[in-house]
Amino acid sequence: MLRASSESTPNYLNKAKDMNNTMVGYMMFVYGIVGVMANWAAGKMLNKSVTKTTAGFFSGTVQIPILLHFSGKNFIATVIVIGLWGFLYLPSFFKCFYLYDLACAQVTGIC
């Protein structure tokens, strides 16, 4: 039974992708490093167009599970998809909070 995303991702990588715990650790490291770079890039992109940036990142979150499925047990493909996963998922959470704060500010008349 999956209880939390922090438990489900390593289990998925262990079972479906045949990775040992060391490799799963490296994949989480790649995910985090790419996510840091993605937050910087998303900030630059948000300055240009909030709507296009949000649509692009959210559409990517739909594509990642499909790409993971089709990557199969190919290690290189899985590493690339996990990098894309970090790039598309982490900034999406920050954009959700940004849009939520913006909506709250508009409703309360702050902006």
Query: So what's the pLDDT on residue 14?
Result: 82
Q: List C-alpha distances in Å: 62 to 7, 37, 76, 88, 102.
A: 21, 20, 21, 10, 24
- Given CA atoms 41, 45, 47, 53 in this order, what sign does their dihedral have? negative
Q: Which of 4-8, 16-20, 33-37, 65-69 has the lowest mean pLDDT?
A: 4-8
Query: So what's the pLDDT on residue 9?
Result: 60
* 73 contacts 81 by C-beta, under 8 angstroms: no
pTM: 0.68
| pLDDT tens string 49-103 | 878 887 888 888 788 889 988 998 898 999 999 899 888 887 766 666 666 677 7
Q: Taking residues 24-53, report their average pLDDT.
A: 86
pLDDT at residue 107 tops 60: yes
Nearest CA to 65 out of 46, 50, 85, 79 is that of 85
The chain-wide mean pLDDT, for the chain, equals: 79
Query: So what's the pLDDT on residue 16?
Result: 81
Query: So what's the pLDDT on residue 95?
Result: 65
